[in-house]
Structure 1
Amino acid sequence: MLTAIINSNRSRPIPGAVGQCPFCKSEMIPRCGEVRIHHWAHKSKVDCDPWWEPETDWHRNWKNEFPLRWQEHVFTDQDTGERHIADVYTLAELTVEIQHSHLDPKERRAREDFYKNMLWVVDGSRLKGDRKKILGWRDALTEIVQGSKRTNLFLLSDANELFPRDWLQSPVPICFDYVGPNAETETAPTLLFLLYPGTVHGGRLVEPLTRDGLLRAIYSERVHMPAVRGILQNVSRLRLSRMRS
């Protein structure tokens, strides 16, 4: 984790300090070496959030794109008492979950049901087969052109052609990042790929973005679920002219 509680305040890792986990309240110790991103670790294995997983530096780098006050937000369901800690929770009430390791579809659905208005950032570099598929993205995507205006929105007829199968049924937007821990940097696309939920015009809507472009979309609330539904509705009304990427 990137934050712990010291003297009732959230804190970055400080060499020699002792912190408290914001979720389970157990003791945490700082890891401030020269190789990995500085972070906190539980002093002993305890019962923390069952959704918590060991984090890669890729994961921590993504969390550090956001203000400290947005990171590692503890949620409590007021009806059931269920508690979880989200990677990022914005002032505009969007949850961003960052995922490197394999995630069981049942847990994916549980997280989506719990957070509701959310965005996944998924490490697309994890499996060689997924890294290989995305190399053909330029041939697989067809750009939507409105009049003579390029939209940077693309249609994909078969999502299996490019993206990991386990994620295709998600009802929320997913952004795939292929410059992750297992990236083959000489071939990996530097763009991110935002996969919209559901189908439109018989295909899936995809938006290639730079990292800064995704951050702007988050800050402007364009990837919130109401905005996402509005984009899909607008695209469904278009009489399309299509241009290969």
Structure 2
Amino acid sequence: MLTANIDGNRSRPIPSAVGVCPFCRSEMVPRCGEVRIHHWAHKSKANCDPWREPETDWHRNWKNEFPLSWQEKIFQDEATGERHIADVHTLSGLTVEVQHSHLDPTERRAREEFYRNMIWVVDGSRLKGNREKISEWRNTLVEISQGQSRTNLFLTDKAEELFPNDWLECPVPVCFDYMGPKGDVSSAPQVLFLLYPGTVHGGRLVEPLPRGSLLRAIFAERVDTSSVRSVTQRVARLRLSNRRR
């Protein structure tokens, strides 16, 4: 984790300090070496959030793109008492969950049901085959034009040939980052791929965009549930004859 409580206040890791996990209240120790991003670790295996898993520096870097007050937000379902830690939760109410390792579909659906208004940022570099799939994206995706203007929105009827199949049925947006901890900088795409939920004109809607553009979209509240729905509805109204590569 990137934060722990010290004397009741959230804190970044401080060498030699003793922290307390804000979720399970167990003792945490700072990891402030010269190689990995500074973080907190549970002193012993604690009964913490069952959705918690070991984090890579890629995961921590994504969380650090957002203000400290948005990171590692604790949620509790008032009806059931169920509690979990979201990677990032914005002021507008959008939860950002960052995922590197394989995630069982049952748990993935449970998280989506729990957070509802959310977006996934997924490590697309985890398996070599995933990078190979996306390498020919320019020949597979068809860009949509509106009048004389390009939209940077693309349709594909071959999503299963481009993206990891485990994520195709998500009811929320999924952003694939192919520059993850196992990414090959020389061959991985320099853009992210935002896969919109559902189908439009029988295909899937994809938006390639730089990392900074995704962050600006999150800060500007352009990838929450209502905004994503508006985009897909707008594309659904467009005539397919206006598509272009």
1:238 aligned partner: 238
Between the two proteins, the alignment pairs up a number of residues equal to 244
1:129 aligned partner: 129
CA shift for structure 1 position 48 = 0.3
TM-score by length of 1: 0.99
Alignment of 1:5-84 (within 5 A): 5-84=5-84
Equivalent AA in structure 2 for residue 7 of structure 1:
D
Q: Distance in 2 between matches of 1:46 and 1:8?
A: 19
Contact 1:124 1:131 in 2 (8 A): yes
Query: Matched residue of 1:44: which SS?
Result: coil
Equivalent AA in structure 2 for residue 133 of structure 1:
K
CA shift for structure 1 position 131 = 1.0
Query: Matched residue of 1:235: which SS?
Result: helix
Equivalent AA in structure 2 for residue 175 of structure 1:
C
Query: Matched residue of 2:88: which SS?
Result: strand
Q: Distance in 1 between matches of 2:61 and 2:220?
A: 21
| Cα distance per residue 1:118-166 (max 9 Å; x no partner) | 0000000000111110101110100000111000000011111100000
Alignment of 1:204-223 (within 5 A): 204-223=204-223
Q: Distance in 2 between matches of 1:98 and 1:197?
A: 17
Query: Matched residue of 1:228: which SS?
Result: helix
Gaps of 5+ in 2: none
Q: Distance in 2 between matches of 1:183 and 1:215?
A: 20
Q: Distance in 1 between matches of 2:149 and 2:161?
A: 27
Q: Distance in 2 between matches of 1:202 and 1:147?
A: 22
Runs of 4+ off more than 2 Å = none
Q: Distance in 2 between matches of 1:68 and 1:114?
A: 22
Contact 1:134 1:163 in 2 (8 A): yes
2:224 aligned partner: 224
Alignment of 1:66-145 (within 5 A): 66-145=66-145
CA shift for structure 1 position 239 = 1.0
Q: Distance in 2 between matches of 1:22 and 1:152?
A: 41
Gaps of 5+ in 1: none
Q: Distance in 2 between matches of 1:123 and 1:72?
A: 19
Q: Distance in 2 between matches of 1:64 and 1:158?
A: 34
1:186 aligned partner: 186
Query: Matched residue of 1:200: which SS?
Result: coil
Contact 1:17 1:29 in 2 (8 A): yes
CA shift for structure 1 position 47 = 0.6
Q: Distance in 1 between matches of 2:190 and 2:20?
A: 37
Equivalent AA in structure 1 for residue 10 of structure 2:
R
CA shift for structure 1 position 243 = 1.3
Equivalent AA in structure 2 for residue 219 of structure 1:
F
| Cα distance per residue 1:44-100 (max 9 Å; x no partner) | 001100000000000000000000000000000000000000000001100000000
Equivalent AA in structure 1 for residue 84 of structure 2:
H
Contact 1:140 1:161 in 2 (8 A): no
